[in-house]
Homo-oligomer: A and B are copies of this chain.
């Protein structure tokens, strides 16, 4: 009796086919040779349907966040869908104040997707996970027919442990609090848009994609009184601050002159008719804390490589309508609304 013969994966010229999602030998091979090798750890090696993992320390709570990543193009200046899907989910866990512990990753591949691209993306994920010190402990792979997907979609789920007594939430902002941002706004979204639109600048606009849990640990050590942390991804600063204003039942007034934007990002936004406040970031943080701690929080951010351009950009106000407004450079005020229409799809 002989087992069916199966060829080795051709990682240079091969492509994903439907058998790689069929539950048979080809799937086992793909998972072993690409995912198993890159993410290798004791849990994946076990080969069970789920991973059995040490729980958080006594008294700690769990934090869970999940994100589908459909960014197009898959590779962009400063990153790719692989590191982005690790950073984005780790950041969602970290802004709750939690220590990220584990990642789960689920892949939807389109028939015909080059195995070389898959391997490159998985290597980028693995490097990002390793740098963050958070293992990918379980996963799943599906394949859809050509024309029914778009190369690769990756959903990552992050699990973290929330230390005893820590309470961060978008619902915690109070009038008088300071609003701080960890750096320039709009870099990720404009890196994607510039590549899509083939815009050429003196120097390339690069995505800011980065894992923020190290920066957040420093920030919370310096200012445990911090009330809100949030990463302004899709919808940008405008959407995130509007969400916080709604959740907390407050208003927010920003100071336009204080908001850090890279000159090239500002130029690209102007060219495309976009507002940097609506553009996605993937390595930036909004922090809201009582005003008396704002300088300490700023100092903690600026001492970290990911926060050198941190700035205090506004304050929380009493506002029954929960508006986010901006004091303009010319002394006026304008609304900072979230986008109502269709814009900037597939940015993350």
Interface residues of A (CB under 8 A from B): 1-6, 17-19, 21-28, 46-56, 58, 60-70, 72, 92-93, 95-96, 98, 102, 104-108, 137-145, 147-150, 153, 155, 157-162, 169-171, 230-231, 233-236, 239, 243, 246-247, 278, 280, 323, 325, 333-335, 337-346
22 sample A-B contacts, Cβ–Cβ < 8 Å, listed by A number: A1-B335, A23-B338, A23-B344, A24-B235, A25-B337, A25-B339, A52-B61, A52-B98, A54-B61, A58-B58, A62-B159, A64-B102, A64-B104, A65-B104, A66-B139, A66-B155, A68-B141, A68-B155, A142-B153, A145-B345, A148-B149, A149-B150
Verify B137–A342 contact, CB threshold 8 A.
no
Contacts of A346 in B (CB 8 A): 21, 142, 144-145
Chain B's closest residue to A2 (CB) is B335
Cα–Cα distance between A1 and B63 once the two chains are bound (Å): 38
Chain B's closest residue to A157 (CB) is B157
Beyond A22-B344, A108-B108, 18 extra complex contacts between A and B, CB < 8 Å: A1-B323, A3-B323, A19-B340, A19-B342, A23-B280, A24-B343, A25-B337, A27-B235, A48-B247, A49-B92, A50-B64, A51-B65, A53-B63, A55-B55, A62-B102, A66-B140, A68-B106, A159-B159
Contacts of A147 in B (CB 8 A): 147
- State how many angstroms separate the Cβ of A288 from the closest Cβ of chain B: 13
Contacts of A105 in B (CB 8 A): 66
Central interface residue in A48, A98, A323, A341, by most chain B CB within 10 Å: A48
Contacts of A153 in B (CB 8 A): 108, 142, 144, 153
Verify B22–A339 contact, CB threshold 8 A.
yes
Taking a contact as CB atoms closer than 8 A, the residue among B92, B108, B159, B339 that contacts A23 in the complex is B339
- State how many angstroms separate the Cβ of A102 from the closest Cβ of chain B: 6
Cα–Cα distance between A171 and B27 once the two chains are bound (Å): 19
Contacts of A70 in B (CB 8 A): 108, 142, 144
Q: Given A1-B323, A66-B155, A137-B64, is A340 in contact with B92 using a C-beta cutoff of 8 Å? A: no
Chain B's closest residue to A348 (CB) is B142
Contacts of A47 in B (CB 8 A): 170-171, 243, 246-247
Verify A49–B342 contact, CB threshold 8 A.
no
Cα–Cα distance between A63 and B52 once the two chains are bound (Å): 5
- State how many angstroms separate the Cβ of A65 from the closest Cβ of chain B: 3
Cα–Cα distance between A65 and B137 once the two chains are bound (Å): 9
Verify B50–A345 contact, CB threshold 8 A.
no
Verify A65–B345 contact, CB threshold 8 A.
no
Cα–Cα distance between A236 and B22 once the two chains are bound (Å): 10
Cα–Cα distance between A70 and B3 once the two chains are bound (Å): 29
Q: Given A53-B63, A64-B53, is A148 in contact with B145 using a C-beta cutoff of 8 Å? A: no
Contacts of A18 in B (CB 8 A): 342, 345
Central interface residue in A2, A138, A148, A243, by most chain B CB within 10 Å: A148
Cα–Cα distance between A339 and B72 once the two chains are bound (Å): 33
Closest 10 CB pairs of A and B: A23-B235, A23-B234, A50-B65, A24-B339, A4-B340, A155-B155, A66-B104, A19-B342, A157-B157, A148-B150
Cα–Cα distance between A230 and B50 once the two chains are bound (Å): 10
